[in-house]
Amino acid sequence: MSAWRAALRVVAGLVTVVGALHGLPALAQVTPAAGYTPPDDTPTVKVGGTIFLDYTYTDEPTTTDADGNVIHPESFNVGRAYVNVTGNLSHRIAFRITPDIARQTTTGATGSLDGSLVIRLKYAYAQFNLDEAWSKGSWVRLGQQQTPLVDYLETIYRYRFQGTVFVDREGFLSSSDVGLSTHYNLPKNLGDVHVGYYNGDTYSKAEANDQKAIMARVSIRPFPMMGALKGLRVTAFYDDDHYVKNDVRTRLFYGATYEHKYVNAGVEHLDTDDQTTAVATEVKGTGYSVWATPRFPKGWEGLLRLDHLKPDKDVDAAKDRKILGVAYWFKVLQTPATAAILLDYESVEYDAALAKPDETRYALHTLFNF
């Protein structure tokens, strides 16, 4: 019936134009059948924001000030300040523009903006919704956008305002890159698939050559309708990329996450393969992350996380990160408004072969999202 309606509209439009040219009255508009509600194609624009603020005290390593005094660095910081501009041109076309802040640093000669917080672009993409053609929540995106794995994990982990997830924190993947991707929601709440073709050099760098990254994530709910088990998802992700031709840069991730009203938790495993140039040694790394965020009455939550990274499988040396925290999530009446405060302890220990000092930090983190 929709095809017939479209044909009738076209015919009516042509007759109206011809009639107008000859001074004839216009035909009455062809209306949809009773009970049919056409999609809302009114253009919309929404403006929101995200702010991460913290106070951090570094117990170790110590440093020295301008007079040579040994000090424990401490500072108030703006970790993130987003302005999110989102909207729709029609029910099929959406967009997002998100400026981000970054600390200006210069190697070599200093500049007048050294140390300043400056604006850079985090997201800028057009989205073509495929709800009618595929399934609700399916789309194609073009531009600077989320990569398939990091954004997926952050929505479950929820403590990005303390620090990035394991694969991002260790520099193996970025949350944003420029490219073309598509997302498909599997039927009956079984999971989703996200596949993209990206520059591979992250949003903070320009494309350096002709190499591109193919990233693919598949997440499955084994028990989509079984009460408490429906919150379980298993995920596999692969990033196939090259620094230059024949010099590999690959990441293989697999893990499981669990979401429940009393706890979110995750187990993640990562294998990496890097050869930066043809004459460089190929380095294979491996690591894992285990975390949980138990929830308690009246907005209180805990944060427990352990990361273990072996940068090179051929070298007997590892890096371990431990995070312990207690958070309070303020009650808000309407999403996406969110506010939280977190008091946390973080330690990073390096084996001697890595030749880096251990780190210990205490911090008060805050999140404001609107």
| pLDDT computed for residue 102 by the predictor | 80
Residue 143 and residue 91 share a domain:
yes
We report the CATH number of the domain holding residue 281 as 2.40.160.10
| pLDDT computed for residue 16 by the predictor | 40
* CA–CA gap between residue 38 and residue 9 (Å, rounded): 14
Handedness of CA 11, 13, 14, 15 (dihedral sign): positive
Residue 24 and residue 118 share a domain:
no
Helix (H, G, I), strand (E, B) or coil at 75: strand
Residue 352 near residue 321 (C-beta atoms within 8 A):
no
How many distinct structural domains can be found in the chain?
2
Give the pTM.
Answer: 0.86
Q: pLDDT 10s per residue in the chain (370 long)? A: 333 344 334 334 333 433 433 343 443 334 445 566 788 889 999 999 999 999 999 999 999 999 999 999 999 999 999 999 999 999 999 999 999 988 877 655 556 667 788 889 999 999 999 999 999 999 999 999 999 999 999 999 999 999 999 999 999 999 999 999 999 999 999 999 999 999 999 998 888 899 999 999 999 999 999 999 999 999 999 999 999 999 999 999 999 999 999 999 999 999 999 999 999 999 999 999 999 999 999 999 999 999 999 999 999 999 999 999 999 999 998 888 999 999 999 999 999 999 999 999 999 999 999 9
Residue 46 and residue 33 share a domain:
no
Residue 138 and residue 32 share a domain:
no
- ∠ CA 6-7-12 to the nearest 5 degrees? 100
Q: Which of 274, 308, 275, 271 is nearest to 289 (CA)?
A: 308
Residue 114 and residue 22 share a domain:
no
Q: Is 224 exposed, middle or buried (0-12, 13-18, 19+ CB in 10 A)?
A: middle
Residue 129 and residue 33 share a domain:
no
Residue 30 near residue 12 (C-beta atoms within 8 A):
yes
Residue 348 and residue 227 share a domain:
yes
Residue 141 and residue 29 share a domain:
no
Residue 326 and residue 293 share a domain:
yes
Residue 28 and residue 169 share a domain:
no
| pLDDT computed for residue 20 by the predictor | 38
Residue 225 and residue 326 share a domain:
yes
Residue 3 and residue 127 share a domain:
no
| pLDDT computed for residue 112 by the predictor | 60
**What is the span of the domain harbouring residue 328?**
39-369
**Would you state the structure tokens that stand for residue 30, as one six-digit string?**
């062809």
